[in-house]
Amino acid sequence: MGEPQSQGIRRDREPLVEAKGLSRNYRLGASQVAALRGVTLTIAPGEFVALQGPSGSGKTTLLNLLGLLDRPDEGTILIEGREGESLSENARSDLRRDRFGFVFQTFNLIPVLSSEENVAYPMVIAGRAPEERRQRARELLTAVGLGEKLAVRPDLLSGGQRQRVAIARALANRPAIVFADEPTANLDSRTAEEILDLMRKINEESSVAFLFATHDPRVVARARRVVRLHDGLVESDGAAR
């Protein structure tokens, strides 16, 4: 089966994120463990990609490297042609703020803030005007089905609602790509299906790329492309079947 070309997505477009020969090692007691071993990968604008593999295969490590949350021991990461390793920490932080969104399995919402304030927070960091922040946050929360929960704090929301807030927050600064680390891990089956449908809809309507680290077959089933990792290596990379 060839690569789907819906929504004008083409793998021959200029890469959004490109990794070349990434290796990452961690200390485990007196030993050194290779989490990634020379991984090369390209993500194009608008793709919907699942990184699949068993625990310890390197999925989260790769996601963290591509999202500039960590640095490789070897290899190069290019973000829209800019070499991540040549950037200062401030420049890397600015790039994450302006071009990336993140969704985590534990939601990572700020407990003392309302839904609206959580979604607006990335825009506060970006220095956007209060009225713009308010309007954007309300638009996003309405889009994810939480228009009636603007003033509600995370502790009064269900797991699925908290993940919807997290998705809205990830989209606040209009990112080019959203990195999602096991976003369905703490959700029941029905809620997980709804969250995945929502992400796929956002991808199709807004051309925001999504890259998932997951072992959830429901995520893999919705992906257009699946990259399988095993023992820190890319085992296969192709269109989802």
Plot region of 149 (φ>0 → left; ψ -120 to 50 → alpha; else → beta)? alpha
Give residue 240's pLDDT: 73
Give residue 6's pLDDT: 36
Give residue 12's pLDDT: 52
Query: Is the residue at 6 inside a domain?
Result: no
Alpha-carbon gap, residue 95 to 171, rounded angstroms = 14
Query: Is the residue at 31 inside a domain?
Result: yes
Give residue 127's pLDDT: 96
φ/ψ (deg, to 5) at 161:
-70, -40
End-to-end CA distance of the chain: 7
Domain range holding 66? Answer: 14-239
pLDDT less than 70: residues of the chain: 1-13, 241
What pTM does this model have?
0.90
Domain count, the chain: 1
Query: Is the residue at 28 inside a domain?
Result: yes
Give residue 7's pLDDT: 38
Instruction: Give the count of beta carbons closer than 10 Å to the beta carbon of residue 5.
Output: 10
Instruction: Give the count of beta carbons closer than 10 Å to the beta carbon of residue 79.
Output: 22
Query: Is the residue at 137 inside a domain?
Result: yes
Nearest-10 crossing angle of helices 159-170, 189-206 = 20
Query: Is the residue at 3 inside a domain?
Result: no
Query: Is the residue at 150 inside a domain?
Result: yes
Give residue 1's pLDDT: 29
CATH number of the CATH domain containing 144: 3.40.50.300
Q: What is the pLDDT of residues 174-199, one digit of tens each?
A: 999 999 999 998 899 999 999 999 99
Identify the H or E element spanning 41: strand 31-43
Alpha-carbon gap, residue 67 to 53, rounded angstroms = 19
Q: What is the pLDDT of residues 2-46, one digit of tens each?
A: 333 333 344 456 899 999 999 999 988 888 899 999 999 999 999
Query: Is the residue at 225 inside a domain?
Result: yes
φ/ψ (deg, to 5) at 21:
60, 45
CB 216 within 8 A of CB 184: yes
Query: Is the residue at 219 inside a domain?
Result: yes
